[in-house]
Structure 1
Amino acid sequence: MIEGYDPYLVALSVVIASLGGYTGFSLTARIRSGPGENARVLLSGAAGILAVGIWTMHFVGMMAAPLPADAVYLVLPTIISFLICALVIGISLFFVSIGDPSPRRVVPSALLLGAGIASMHYVGMHGLSGSFGLTHDPALVALSVAIAIVAAYGGLRIFLARQDGLRLAISAVAFGIAVSGMHYTAMLGMHVVPIGEGHHHAAPGLAASPQALAIVVAVLCFVIAAGFLLSLVPDPRRQSQPMPAVAEAAPQLAPEPAATAAEPVVEVAAPSRATAAPLGGIGQPPRATAARLPLEGANGTHFIDAGDVRSVRADAHYTRIHDGTRERMCPWSISEAEAQLDPGRFIRVHRSHIVAIEHVIYVGREGEGAIIELDGPSKPRVPVSRAKVAEVKARLGLRRPA
């Protein structure tokens, strides 16, 4: 059993895992509330930062252990261990980011992620070479894998909860401690034996000294720290100045004497909205609109009242419905949703987004278009294309249509 760890490096390994967890989870937290175009970038960034954090924590923990002086690290197994970590994290986050995040999705993802973290550890250990052998206690191996799975499940729940602020920081620290606990539990079950007694021996191949690995780890530590600091920078969109009186105007819109058919009046409770003429369709016959939207879940189809819908986002051949708290999958396409929803209450503000105009609480400029914020616990944000800015302003009572 290895004893005599460097306490400063042990503490550093926990800090690295926690910083990586915070940065990765803060990125994934934006996936469900941010514009759809950024989801892939955020998912890739989250998986990369989490993988770098876990992998770096592992090797800082290895440097904290009093290994034999002639120990070196084989480059190929070391690289493979990182690729395993990045791959399973990316797959797990992607799996729980599509469809309804039910336990039937989260549990298999946690099993995959936990097994991947454990595999990363033991593949990395296989890359340790020198004039000694390594043996592992089977009971502690099983315990370390169980800890990795529990840590993975907790991390995925953090992702789905979209926590922020102090709660996210506490959760990230807990995740860092759990991942570090997996590593040190596995190290507790590792025994260094003379080369003749073990089943491991010095293997040929390109190797790196602990000093070279320390340089790589130091660089990755700076990457993680930089990512952490960037995640603390406020979203510049939230710092832009809102257009005058939008927050108050949206819920207080009322009919005006000069209103015409081209300027639908936003009245949440008006029963005549079911027959309102769709925008851009003056002269079309009245049509019925859907009072509820179907939502696909692991246990079947659920329904949400149209009045509770904040936004609809295109997702391939389907859509995602945001109720102000989270997104869920709808079997309708974006075009079908536009045709089914009440045009007096909903407006297509982007080729991939429809919003409920009555729930808008903020609108600000962003590039050539705009960004709007909707009410609800998570305050989802939706982009507005340049061609739709004038129409959105008119619907909010900020400008009359030409």
Structure 2
Amino acid sequence: MFAGHDPYLVALSVVVAILGGYTGFGLAARIRGTPGLPRRVLLAGAAAFLAVGIWTMHFVGMLAAPIPGEAVYLVLPTIVSFLICALVVGVSLYFVSIGETTGLRLPASALLLGAGIVSMHYVGVHALVGPFHIVHRTDMILLSALIAILSAYGGLRIYLARQGGMRLVLSAVAFGIAVSGMHYTAMYGMQFEAMDGAGHDAAGLVASAQVLSLVVALLCFVIAAGFLLFLVPEPRQKQQPAAAPGLFAEPPGAPEMMEPPPENAVPAPTPQAGGFSRSAPLGGIGAPRQQPASRIPVSSADGTHLIDVADIRSIRADAHYTLVHDGQRERICSWSISEAESRLDPELFARVHRSHIVALPHVTLMRKEGDGAILELGGQVAHLVPVSRAKIAEVKARLGLVRSMAGRP
């Protein structure tokens, strides 16, 4: 049966899976850094795009297959197959986004997601009825299930890595090919056997292949539109006036090594075992030290509030915004990330990433992840902050996790 597939529809099914994976994982990558209702919206959007991408890929693949002309689709099992896919994708993303992915949480989520993809496929296949029996080869069922679980594990690892740019593109391509591979492996092991007598009497509401084609075409449009909207950059904010002369705003996407230091910035303190010490101020001998800020301005619907720096857990730059996390939620701050670094006490705050500053006294956990590391900040709503590879040794020293780096060349 596999040899008779329409090559153009096969190619379209792979493209749909890739676009759905790119959009879904791109939205999922933003979940952990977003509090409250927006986090739930992102989780729902990510699950929806992944589910629609997987389900649409499946039925484009079904339309590409050489199915008997008398075949029709039962509507109820077709809808149930989509609901299965949406449910398991949402639950899997939720499990890996609510806390640390330690122990069996990630493999269990991947197993659940893979089993859901396989269930969606076979429920969708058996929505197809006509004067025939559908039989499956056991070895192909097992192989397709293995491919689904491995692709689910890889997809969740992509989500946890929260990568962007070309890395996300390559990951989405790999995910789309893997999901398509599961489908066509299962289809390779499927055969239609003619029934004796009058044939199968379809019970319930049915839809022809032409009706299914219209539904699939609409969903392909939704996936393509979501993908294009995801690529549209956010509108630029009007540039805020500088609060003090000589402060540099950090351009979005600028490399960490190329950022110019603020003119009056206090340099990072020299790491000491069990604590932090200040370094001499930049700007020449006798240059005055800028007094650390005791409060920081944040915006809300009713105006601008000033919150104590002791309540701050982290600060991050997100496109054209700077967001301050106070242990409960994030709020917009008018300072740039560079200005915040220069105004906060360097004994208490550290720049751990190009886009992230953390309050060291609130760090409750540090663990390795990929090429970098992850810090967990305590509060009523604990959250995670990435640490760039170049900053790992310094952060460990400042947290007292290694011996003092003083005296090293």
Same fold flag (TM > 0.5): yes
Q: Secondary structure at the match of 2:67?
A: coil
The aligned counterpart of 2:193 is: 193
RMSD: 3.6
Shift in CA distance, 44/380, structure 1 to aligned 2, threshold 3 Å: farther
The aligned counterpart of 2:172 is: 172
Structure 1 position 379, deviation (Å)? 2.0
Contact 2:314 2:326 in 1 (8 A): no
Q: Secondary structure at the match of 2:193?
A: strand
The aligned counterpart of 1:400 is: none
Give CA-to-partner distance per residue, 1:89-119, whole Å, 9 cap, x none. Answer: 0000000001112352111000000000000
Shift in CA distance, 193/41, structure 1 to aligned 2, threshold 3 Å: same
Contact 2:240 2:334 in 1 (8 A): no
Q: Secondary structure at the match of 1:234?
A: coil
The aligned counterpart of 1:283 is: none
Contact 1:242 1:362 in 2 (8 A): no
Q: Report how many aligned residue pairs link the two structures.
A: 295
Structure 1 position 234, deviation (Å)? 1.5
The aligned counterpart of 1:16 is: 16
Amino acid of the residue matched to residue 212 of structure 1?
V
Contact 1:33 1:381 in 2 (8 A): no
Contact 1:359 1:375 in 2 (8 A): no
Q: State the distance in 2 between where 1:351 and 1:28 align.
A: 21
Listed as ranges, the matches of 1:3-402 within 5 Å are: 3-102=3-102, 104-196=104-196, 201-236=200-235, 240-244=238-242, 245-247=247-249, 252-253=264-265, 269-270=277-278, 310-311=314-315, 352-353=329-330, 360-361=337-338, 376-377=352-353, 379=355
Q: State the distance in 2 between where 1:73 and 1:380 align.
A: 52
Q: State the distance in 1 between where 2:220 and 2:77 align.
A: 21
Shift in CA distance, 355/15, structure 1 to aligned 2, threshold 3 Å: closer
Q: Secondary structure at the match of 2:55?
A: helix
Shift in CA distance, 59/85, structure 1 to aligned 2, threshold 3 Å: same
Q: State the distance in 2 between where 1:208 and 1:2 align.
A: 24
Q: Secondary structure at the match of 2:158?
A: helix
TM-score of the pair, normalised by structure 1:
0.65
Percentage of matched positions with identical amino acids: 57
The aligned counterpart of 1:370 is: none
Structure 1 unmatched runs, 5+:
255-267, 281-288, 291-305, 312-321, 325-346, 364-373, 383-402
Amino acid of the residue matched to residue 70 of structure 2?
D
TM-score of the pair, normalised by structure 2:
0.64
Q: State the distance in 2 between where 1:375 and 1:277 align.
A: 16
Q: Secondary structure at the match of 2:5?
A: coil
Shift in CA distance, 213/356, structure 1 to aligned 2, threshold 3 Å: closer
Shift in CA distance, 111/169, structure 1 to aligned 2, threshold 3 Å: same
Give CA-to-partner distance per residue, 1:196-255, whole Å, 9 cap, x none. Answer: 49xx94431100000000000000000000000011112336x6535433537878446x
Q: State the distance in 1 between where 2:334 and 2:225 align.
A: 38
Q: State the distance in 2 between where 1:56 and 1:362 align.
A: 47
The aligned counterpart of 1:297 is: none
Q: Secondary structure at the match of 2:104?
A: helix
The aligned counterpart of 1:393 is: none
Give CA-to-partner distance per residue, 1:319-369, whole Å, 9 cap, x none. Answer: xxx9x9xxxxxxxxxxxxxxxxxxxxxx87696249999993368xxxxxx
Structure 2 unmatched runs, 5+:
250-259, 267-275, 280-291, 297-309, 319-323, 341-349, 359-409
Structure 1 position 30, deviation (Å)? 1.3
Structure 1 position 9, deviation (Å)? 0.2
Contact 1:50 1:89 in 2 (8 A): yes
Contact 1:49 1:224 in 2 (8 A): yes
Amino acid of the residue matched to residue 231 of structure 1?
F
